[in-house]
Every structure is written in C-alpha cells, then in structure tokens.
Amino acid sequence: MARSQRSQALLQFGLFCGIILFVNIIANSFYAHLDLTEEKRFTLTKPTKAMLSALEDRIYVQVLLQGEFPAGFKRLQTATREMLDDFRSVTGYIDYQFLDPLEGSTDDIKARQKALLEDGIAPVNLRVNEQGESKQQLIYPVAVFNYGQRKVVVNLLENQSPTLMPDEVVNNSVSLLEYKFANAIKKLQAENRAAILFTRGHGELDELETLDLERSLHQFYDTDRIALDSVIQIDPKVCQLLVVAKPRGPFSERDKFKIDQFIMQGGKVLWLIDRLNASLDSIRPRFYPVDYPLNIEDMLFKYGVRIQPDLVLDIECTKIPLQVGVVGNAPQFQLFPWPYYPAVRPTGRHPVVKNLDRVELKFCSSIDTIRTKTPVRKTVLLQSSRYSRLQFSPMELNFGIVRSELNPENFNKGPQTVGVLLEGVFPSNFENRVSQDMLAGLKQVGLDFRNASVPDNRMIVISDGDVAANFIRNRENKEWLPLGFNRYENSTYANKELLLNAVEYLIDATGVIEARSKEVKLRLLDTVRAREEKTFWQALNLGLPLVFLGLFGAVFFWRRKRKYASV
C-alpha cells in the first residue's frame, strides 16, 4: 500500500514537472505583457504599431551594450531589450543581438574600435567608483539598425547636461527609445528622400554657417539652396520643407507670392527670423540696432504671429568674455552673464521640444500670436524664463549691463515667447490682391491661385536666425564648431536637436514622432524618510518572511499530525 502511494506521488510529481516544462516551452514562443503603469510606458503608440505591422522584410539590430555596467546603464540596457521585445511582439521581422565591443584580445578590440569610429560610433568615457576606487570605463550606448544594405546608428544615451542629474539623463534616454527605434526603421524603409531647400538671395545664412545642421540632415534628407527669383513656383512635391534662415535683406512681392502659394499648396516652412540687426561684434563700444528691412511682417501677421521690434533679456543666459585688465602685455578676460543670449528651456510636452535641454538664442525678439481668419492652432515651443525683460527699438546696446550683478527685480516681465508652432488652415497673404492679369498669367503656366492652404498645414517660427548657425573659426580653411557648442563655456546646447525635431515634425506624415511625447516618470526614493525608517523596514523585510515561514510550518505540522493521528 505504501509503495503504491509512493509510486503515485512520484508519477504526479513527474507529470507536474512535465506540464511546467511544456508551458515554458510554449511561453518562449510568445511575448505578451500587461501594462499597469500610470504613464503606459510599456505600450507602443499607434503610429509605431502601424509602421511595424507593415514591415515586409527583416531588420537586424546590433546593440553594443553588453557587459557589466553601473546601475543607470544597466537600466538603459534592460529598457533597450524590453523595447525591442515590444517591437517583436508586433512583428516577427525584428531580430536583435547584444554585443560587447570590448570583448576579446587587445588587437581585436583596437580593430573593432577603429571600425566603429569609421562609422561615426565613438565610446562614452565613464568614471566608475568601485570599493572606494575610481576607474575609467568605455561604454558604447549604441544600437545599429540594419536593413538590407542600409544601416542607421542610434545613440541610446541622451547628451549629458550640467542642468540635469545623471538619473534624469538616463530617464530621458529610456523615454525616447521607442521614438528613436521607430524613427530609425522609418528612415531605413524610406524609398525617396525628402528635399529641404534653404532660401538665398536675401542675406540668409550661407552653406558654411549651416554646415553642421545640413550634415546631420544629409543622413536622411537632401538639402540645397533655392533663389526664389529664379523659379516660377516652389512645388511641394519637389520641396517638402522650405527653411528661411536669418534673412537680412528684403523679400520682393514676387518672392513672397511664391512662398505664400507654396504654403497654400501644403508646403511646410521653418522661419528663423531676426527682427533687429543686433550682433555682439557691432557693439564697439555702443550700438543702436534697427529693423532688418525684410518686408515679410505682413505675411507672418496673416499666418498668425507677429515678431516684435524688441530684444528679450533673460537672467538665465549664457556668458561672454570681457577684458578686465592687462598683466604684462597679455589682456585678461573674465566670463560675464550676457542677458541678450537667453538659455531658454523648451516649453510643454510637444514632441518637438519634449525632453530637450536648454537652447541658446542670441538677440531674440518676443513673438505675439494673432487671431486669424481661418482656424490656426498656436503652440508655444520656446519661452524665456520668468526673470525676463524687454528692450524696445530704438535702444542703445553696450556692455554696461554687465558691470553690476543682474537684479531679478529689474527682470519682471515674465516668460516671453520666442518660438511658436502654427498648425491648421492658413489664409493667403494675397487674398483679394491678385489682379485678373496675374491670374491669367498663372493659368498660362498651369498654376491656380489658392485663397487658403490645405487642411492641417504646419510652420514653425523662431525669433532668432542664429539658432541654426554653427560658429566659424576660420572661413578660409572652413574650420567650424558643432551647432549649439558654446566655445566660451565649453558646453553644448540643444540647438541642433531642436531643429532636427522641428524638421522631423514638419515633414513627418506617419506620426512616428508622436512617440517623443511619451513620458517615463522618475520615481526617486525619499532619502530622508528612508534614513529615518531604515531600521523598521530592515526588520520588516527580514522578519516578515520568517513569520510567514513559521505559520506555514505550524499549519503543515498540524495538518500532518491530524491526518496520521487518525490512521
């Protein structure tokens, strides 16, 4: 009898193990989860799901983030794997592998690092503290997406910033993973590259001044210059985005008409406009800036914005060097806050500015939004801090403002808008202004005049043209610094990221950029409370399992005694 019970128990145990093994094998073939987080961090956006569902060929992803890392990078590594698993749950065409580029012999590592550097992949030099000792560790927070003969390199780690804590940098990096991966896949699949044209002929930034921006755009777009007086029209099918970058000369009515009808037909425009001709080099020792004669104020007013003839001053600003003395024959310089260079923080949660660090502007003006004849939504993207003030033209510019400490009481005008997104139906600036002869001329070349734009058109207006200009060290040798890099402070601002996001949003028709608006909340531990209640939680964590174990043992012993006592 006892042997039969023992055999039956072993059979049941073996059957149970077999069922568990079978369930695990089946479960490995599927991936699913239930997202119970408040911000739905593990739920893909609809545009991303639609794009993944339409995949028809395999995409192979190499993630160079294998190895032992500090807690922050370990979290980024885990989040990257989970995001790729989320992608695989939608489509079976995603394959990935985690690799350690620093694994192997010294010669293998050097050869691998050289090959990565040729592809523009550089390591991050991380300082790690272990057991009281500090050491350097190279990390490649990079994922390479491969599709046929094409590949896109995705930087998993956002730029380190003096205004953000390391945990916040990692948190921003995690929240942007879906957008970066979806955007890379979208770019790999694109059969035709969108064209971006920069206007010229009105004193705009030249090719060397926008070199860094255009190099970044060239990975996915074609860029060129267009002289408006040499074309009959700007075709939105040929040019997906028109960039007007810091014009300093007037636009003729013909040029304005071509831009206006380009917008009416669905063309997108990025306006980077300086209202006043102020510059740091002009202040010798004082200067009176005047309006640039652009002749486009009526167009912008018609579309819903007005750039005021003023300058925005902000206590939260970048610094410039000024001479404070001479030692021997060598002049001595010191950095002073220069309120005419606001370090503006992007406003709101719009995908263009979500999770961006500060942007450096130079001699920017305030922007007012205007009520329009047609429905146009205005979204503020950039604002100065609440410690701002305005100087109206005519004014005198000099360096006297830095002689004393900036007083917050004098900067009491509140946040000033310096960047706006306009979306909707734009009214034509030439409505009721086109003669019959002009209409007949348009028809002869196969063009029709439009009084209003196509629905849901877009444009962005920023009241600073230098936001797109990289610093030129030597024009003859074409030496330049990266866009957004402040050579005085030796720090990088988010100018390039802002413009790349703006271009992406204006051109993007799939809505993948919607994933940028996802937010992963950083829930930090209350260190003060943790320190005060340390003993209690330690006792609870150690004692509670023992209490449950004791109760389980007591119940088990009681049932066993009762069962066999009756036999």
pLDDT in tens, the chain (567 residues): 555 666 776 777 777 777 877 777 766 555 555 554 555 556 788 888 888 888 888 999 998 888 777 777 788 888 889 899 988 888 888 999 998 888 888 888 888 888 888 777 778 776 655 555 666 777 888 889 998 888 888 888 876 554 455 667 777 788 888 888 888 888 888 778 889 999 999 999 999 999 999 998 988 889 999 999 899 889 999 999 999 999 999 999 999 999 999 999 999 999 999 999 998 888 877 788 999 999 999 999 999 999 999 999 999 999 998 887 777 778 888 888 999 999 998 888 888 988 788 999 999 999 999 999 999 999 999 999 999 999 998 888 888 888 788 888 889 999 999 999 999 999 999 988 887 777 777 787 778 889 999 999 999 999 999 999 999 988 888 888 999 999 999 888 999 999 999 998 999 766 676 666 655 554 555 556 667 777 887 888 888 888 888 887 788 777 777 766 655
CB-count burial class (<10 Å; 0-12, 13-18, 19+) for 192: exposed
pTM metric for this prediction: 0.76
Which two tokens mark 319? 């610094």
pLDDT of residue 234: 92
pLDDT of residue 270: 97
pLDDT of residue 34: 55
Helix (H, G, I), strand (E, B) or coil at 318: strand
The Cα–Cα gap between 121 and 218 comes to 17
Between the alpha carbon of residue 539 and those of residues 334, 501, 533, 550, 553, the distances in Å are: 56, 50, 10, 16, 21
pLDDT of residue 307: 96
Residues 6+ apart with CB under 8 A from 531: none
The Cα–Cα gap between 513 and 501 comes to 8
* 251 contacts 202 by C-beta, under 8 angstroms: yes
pLDDT of residue 525: 52
Hey, what domains does the chain have and what are their CATH numbers?
29-187 (3.40.30), 195-515 (no CATH)
The Cα–Cα gap between 415 and 401 comes to 20
* 2 contacts 9 by C-beta, under 8 angstroms: no
pLDDT of residue 522: 47
